[in-house]
Structure 1
Amino acid sequence: MSELRCRSLSWNDFSGFLKRLKTLALSNNFLYGEIPNSFSLLTNLIHLDLSLNQLHGQLPVNIGKLTSLSYFLVANNNLIGKITPQITGYNIMNFKNYSIRNLVDLEILDLSYNKFNGEVPHCLGNTNFTDNQLEGAIPRSLCKCKNLKVLNLRNNKFKDVFPYWLGSLPYLEVLSLPFNKFHGDITNNLSKIATSPFSNLQILDLSNNNFCGKLPFMYIKQFRSMMDIDMSTIGSPRYLKNKFGNYMYSIKMIVKGKQLDHKKIITSKSTFDMSNNHFEGEIPNSIEMLRALRNLNLLHNLLTGNIPPSIGNLSLLDGLDLSSIRLIGEIPQELVSLKFLEVFIVSYNQLEGPIPRGNNFDTFSSYSYEGNLELCGAPLLEC
């Protein structure tokens, strides 16, 4: 059909011939207009993917009728409005409440990269609300979502303290909260945390918020999945899959100083990103417990003290950014043992003494060290 040109689809008679339809995937096209309410007649639908189109308007008011729905993906469109009244689907005409809470099989809800605003509804499933204008607090009803693996609230306007209660979710692997207005001391509610909180967490991104206080030592000790080294993932990364074995998750992250758009989440690339906050105190030695860590980013904080030599025990580390904080002393020679280290940045601190030599340290440019007036040795001036 190389000559076929289609500007739109007529979606008015789905009820007549598509009642048994289970999968409708129309992503990455040029579909425009509103999502029709007639979709609610596809009562056997399990997978609905309308992402990467030019759809606009609000979510269908009767979407809650699709009680068999497991995947509802409308990311990367121009949808607007508050999620709460639309996603709960209260139909004034017939006084029935088609709440998303009726979607008991919902596994993934992806509303990212639209123009939604308001507060987040009490919803289910692996949730991606990235790059909208959502605000308020994270609803505590999420702690009832015991199968939740991914919570991605990147780049919104959430204003809340750290949601410590998410630590009770046994399968949570990705917690991404960057570019919001989260605030306060993460350690304030340590007495309330669950037994072994966040034990399956592989990716923690709290960057670009207003968190303060010390780095959460007590949480670090519980990140068991970041402690187990799996050398088989060095050449063959492990991706986050759904129960059908499909890769249906995506995430944006700052890795090795660059923003990367991962179409598939690599859980074997364990990440601890606390950059661009107001954390203070010293970097805890307990960080060495996270032996599976690949990316450690503490850029732009109020941290003090020395670089812990124990970081040299993070044998899989390939990205380490400790720039623009208040570190003093020498760069530990133990870091030379990090043979996978590709990016090392300690610029704009108060470090001194000779730069270690050997392995990858022979490849780092002066950019890694600039702004430390007392550092010396290649690639800077001789000591």
Structure 2
Amino acid sequence: MNSSATMSGLSIVLVMVLLCSSAVSELCNTKDKQALLQIKKDLGNPTTLSSWVSTTDCCNGTWQGVLCDTDTQTYRVNNLDLSNLNLPKPYRIPASIGNLPYLNFLTIRTNPNLVGAIPAAITKLNQLRYLYITHTNVSGAIPEFLSQIKTLVTLDFSYNDHSGTLPTSISSLANLVGITFDGNRISGAIPDSYGSFSNLFTSMTISRNRLTGKIPATFANLNLSFVDLSRNKLEGDASVLFGSDKNTQKIRLAKNSLAFDLGKVGLSKNLNGLDLRNNRIYGMLPKGLTTLKFLHSLNVSYNNLCGEIPQGGNLQRFDVSSYDHNKCLCGSPLPACT
């Protein structure tokens, strides 16, 4: 064999070695890469995802919004962020997202051209813990099939175009600690089942919707750190949200038609924010408000409260706007009682 043929043979071997070396060094799972490239295609190949290139490793940190599991060294895609994609025209959430079975985190934020319903394929993500779909035009009811994803810890569907009623079955999710459904067009009553969330359930915010009816009596069983049901059309008794044995930090119920005796509620010692303005709440302000060390925001204006504002604590630090437009509330910072 002449030297030219030898060199040619060596070149071929060298190329093959380099190709094999490149294939071995790639950490990204082949199926995960295929799923990601399909997602990109289904979204119209947005320029924001231009770093998703088939010839590169999706686990090397260069793919926008993609993270892989390096702790267990399985290198499966476990975190996907599809925020701010600047989609040129309306697209739906791709069903191909369901082909990333190791996802723990899925974030889809600030995509006004994302429309349509949440796809049922999302139930294939049986390791999903945190699901954030916010500030989009995703529509339809928040689906009942979410209860099939038993690993869910947090659901955030705020500021979309969701309508219909609240999904009743999500209360069966034993690991769920928070739901955020603010800023949609959700209507109907709050399901009684929402009072059966586990004691680990820490936050419920469903403000700026079209909820009607009463707050379920079953809410007495909840120990919420933060509850925001403001700007709905709720009525009746909200005292079930209060309690001296609870760890509640913030309660926001403003701009509803709630009516109950505020003077008879128990107060969490950790309460630091209370917004009850624009309701039909009556009675006197609880004297227990003066003992709250962390209370830094309070608004009970535009209600039917009466009596003297208790003296002490932080109550006189709030200005007139926190108390005015009540039936017969008086005392500092309002005019003196007569």
TM-score range, shorter chain: 0.7 to 0.9
Q: Does 1:301 align with 2:298?
A: no
Shift of 1:219: 3.5
The two structures have a TM-score, normalised by structure 1, of 0.67
Q: Secondary structure at the match of 1:129?
A: strand
Gaps of 5+ in 2: 1-21, 30-45, 66-74
Match of 2:168?
164
- Equivalent runs, 1:179-190 vs 2, <5 Å: 179-187=183-191, 190=192
8 Å contact 1:48–1:72 — kept in the other structure?
no
Match of 2:197?
197
Q: Secondary structure at the match of 2:314?
A: helix
Match of 1:377?
331
- Equivalent runs, 1:220-259 vs 2, <5 Å: 220-221=220-221, 223-224=222-223, 226=224
Distance in 2 (CA, whole Å) between partners of 1:347 and 1:155 is: 27
* Matching residue within 335, 344, 369 for 2:289: 335
Distance 1:347-1:286 versus aligned 2 partners, 3 A rule: closer
Match of 2:7?
none
8 Å contact 2:195–2:216 — kept in the other structure?
no
Give CA deviations for 1:7-41 in whole Å, capped at 9, x if unaligned.
xxxxxxxxx6873259xxxxxxxxx8252495456
Match of 2:36?
none
Give CA deviations for 1:286-322 in whole Å, capped at 9, x if unaligned.
631661111100100111132143333x100000011
Distance in 1 (CA, whole Å) between partners of 2:178 and 2:62 is: 23
Distance in 2 (CA, whole Å) between partners of 1:143 and 1:46 is: 34
Q: Does 1:143 align with 2:147?
A: yes
Match of 1:368?
322
Letter in 1 for 2:239: P
8 Å contact 1:75–1:113 — kept in the other structure?
yes
Distance in 1 (CA, whole Å) between partners of 2:61 and 2:149 is: 20
* Matching residue within 89, 98, 103 for 2:100: 103
- Equivalent runs, 1:263-302 vs 2, <5 Å: 270-285=225-240, 287-288=242-243, 291-302=246-257
Q: Secondary structure at the match of 2:169?
A: helix
8 Å contact 2:117–2:138 — kept in the other structure?
yes
Q: Does 1:326 align with 2:334?
A: no
* Matching residue within 88, 91, 94 for 1:82: 91
Match of 1:119?
117
Match of 2:35?
none
Give CA deviations for 1:69-101 in whole Å, capped at 9, x if unaligned.
1101122342353334xx224xxxxxxxxxx33
8 Å contact 2:76–2:102 — kept in the other structure?
yes
Distance 1:46-1:208 versus aligned 2 partners, 3 A rule: farther
Q: Secondary structure at the match of 2:159?
A: coil
Match of 1:20?
27
Distance in 2 (CA, whole Å) between partners of 1:361 and 1:21 is: 58
Distance in 2 (CA, whole Å) between partners of 1:372 and 1:109 is: 45
Give CA deviations for 1:142-167 in whole Å, capped at 9, x if unaligned.
11211111111110110121112111
Shift of 1:371: 1.1
Give CA deviations for 1:219-265 in whole Å, capped at 9, x if unaligned.
441x35x3xxxxxxxxxxxxxxxxxxxxxxxxxxxxxxxxxxxxxxx
Distance in 2 (CA, whole Å) between partners of 1:357 and 1:197 is: 37
Aligned Cα root-mean-square deviation (Å): 3.1
State the aligned residue count: 286
Distance in 1 (CA, whole Å) between partners of 2:190 and 2:214 is: 8
Q: Does 1:132 align with 2:136?
A: yes
- Equivalent runs, 1:39-54 vs 2, <5 Å: 39=53, 45=59, 50=64
Distance in 1 (CA, whole Å) between partners of 2:273 and 2:84 is: 30
Distance 1:131-1:220 versus aligned 2 partners, 3 A rule: farther
Give CA deviations for 1:322-341 in whole Å, capped at 9, x if unaligned.
11001122212222222211
Distance in 2 (CA, whole Å) between partners of 1:218 and 1:346 is: 25
Match of 1:25?
none
Shift of 1:168: 1.0
Q: Does 1:316 align with 2:270?
A: yes
Give CA deviations for 1:142-197 in whole Å, capped at 9, x if unaligned.
1121111111111011012111211111111120001101111114xx3xx49943
Distance 1:49-1:354 versus aligned 2 partners, 3 A rule: farther
* Matching residue within 62, 77, 81 for 1:69: 77
The two structures have a TM-score, normalised by structure 2, of 0.76
- Name which one, 1 or 2, has greater alpha-carbon Rg: 2
Identity of aligned residues (%): 28
Give CA deviations for 1:18-71 in whole Å, capped at 9, x if unaligned.
73259xxxxxxxxx82524954566763978735xxxxxxxxxxxxxxx92110
